[in-house]
Amino acid sequence: MSIRILTLTVGTRSPGGGCGPVAVADQNAAMDPDVRTYLGDLVDAARDVLGDNLVGAYAAGSVALDAYQPGRSDVDVALLCARAPGPERGRALVARLRHEALPCPARGLELVLYREAVARSGTPEPGYEVELNTGRGLPFRAGVDGPDRPAADGLFWYGLDRSILHQHGLTLFGPPAAEAFADPSPADLRRLLVDALRWWLALPTPEGDGPAPGTEDAVLGACRSLVRFRDGVWLSKVRAGRRLADAGWCVDVIERSIAARDGGVPPSGPQARAVQERVLAEISGGGPADRGVTGAALGAWHGAGPPPVDS
């Protein structure tokens, strides 16, 4: 059965009570047409390989958050299966979906296949059966026999992605995303956010006051974590940054980071690290803090005076 994303309504169940193909939410009526077609082709290919074992397919990431930027964004997809497919079927799925077989119109495809029981459990663990990164702008990566990502690459991604799917996932096939994916517990979510921030902070940071490409994503990613922690909602990186800047928080650095995504000048390494450290201090339980922030980095939050304690 061919599945296409055509009717722009919130996902529903089929009249017989089972889970039939469902469609995307109204706010995505302007979805990039190439991405729309690609997602339909991807679900068709996945069903060819997995058959009735495929019980759900969902768009995540920037597509789900209505923040997709052609040329910059990836396409993130989560698939659900009723039972573990095994390595042989996993390899067949990778072969059908990799960029060379099904060209991705975005920078790349980041796809994860979970068992439906794992997705609904709220576990903070990776828990996937198959993982595939492929595309013209992504290093190829494939795992077909359960979680095998090195800890150094970050094991927090999966729990955070499933939390985003719970709130915003676009259902391409199967039950609504809010039913298919459970949020981690508050304690587990907090730990995942802290692990993510520490992972980012462990990456090399350019020194000096000059612009440092890539710092915009570090800053806006930290903003998204802080908004989720404070307000309980996942937003796109840019919207999270704007929410905090509108409240007077780290205005200068956030505005530079947003502008950098459209070709503007990014913040310096120390400015980005200052924001990340402040977010980490709050989420990890130290409360809103300015520790480790001095001089130019502190002044850059507003251009004058210290940053406010609360947003």
pLDDT in tens, the chain (311 residues): 444 443 333 333 332 333 333 344 444 456 899 999 999 999 999 999 999 999 999 999 999 999 998 988 999 999 999 999 999 999 999 999 999 999 999 999 999 999 999 999 999 999 999 999 999 999 999 999 888 888 888 999 999 999 999 999 999 999 999 999 999 999 999 999 999 999 999 998 888 889 999 999 999 999 999 999 999 999 999 999 999 999 999 999 999 999 999 999 999 999 999 999 999 999 998 555 333 333 333 333 333 222 322 22
Predicted confidence at residue 148, as pLDDT, reads 85
Structure pTM?
0.84
Q: Whole-angstrom Cα distance, residue 114 to residue 56?
A: 10
Q: Which has the closest alpha carbon to 196: 165, 230, 161, 231?
A: 161
Q: Which residues, listed in sequence order, are joined to residue 131 by a DSSP beta bridge?
A: 112, 143
pLDDT (0 to 100) of residue 29: 55
Q: Mean of the per-residue pLDDT values for the chain?
A: 85
Decide if 278 contacts 226 (C-beta within 8 A): no
Which among 79, 89, 136 is positioned nearest to 113, based on CA atoms?
A: 79
Beta strands 75-81 and 109-115 are: parallel
Torsion over CA of 253, 157, 56 and 101, rounded to 10 degrees?
A: 90
pLDDT at 165: 98
The whole-angstrom distance between residue 285's C-alpha and the CA centroid of its chain comes to 24
CB burial readout 289-310, b (16+ within 10 A) else e: ebeebeeebbbbbbeeeebeee
Sort 67 into a burial class: Cβ within 10 Å, 0-12 / 13-18 / 19+.
middle
Cβ partners under 8 Å of residue 181, min gap 6: 58, 78, 119, 120, 162, 163, 165, 166, 169
Report strand pairing: 109-115 vs 141-143.
unpaired
SS (H, E, C) the chain: CCCCCCCCCCCCCCCCCCCCCCCCCHHHCCCCHHHHHHHHHHHHHHHHHHHHHEEEEEEEHHHHCCCCCCCCCCEEEEEEECCCCHHHHHHHHHHHHCCCCCCCCCCCEEEEEEEHHHHCCCCCCCCEEEEEEECCCCCCEEECCCCCCCHHHCCCHHHHHHHHHHHHCEEEECCCHHHHCCCCCHHHHHHHHHHHHHHHHHCCCCCCCCECCCHHHHHHHHHHHHHHHHHCCCCCHHHHHHHHHHCCCCHHHHHHHHHHCCCCCCCEHHHHHHHHHHHHHHHHHHCCCCCCCCHHHHHCCCCCCCCCCCC
Domains of the chain: 26-180 (3.30.460), 186-299 (no CATH)
Q: What distance in Å separates the CA atoms of residue 4 and residue 100, rounded to the nearest whole number? A: 22
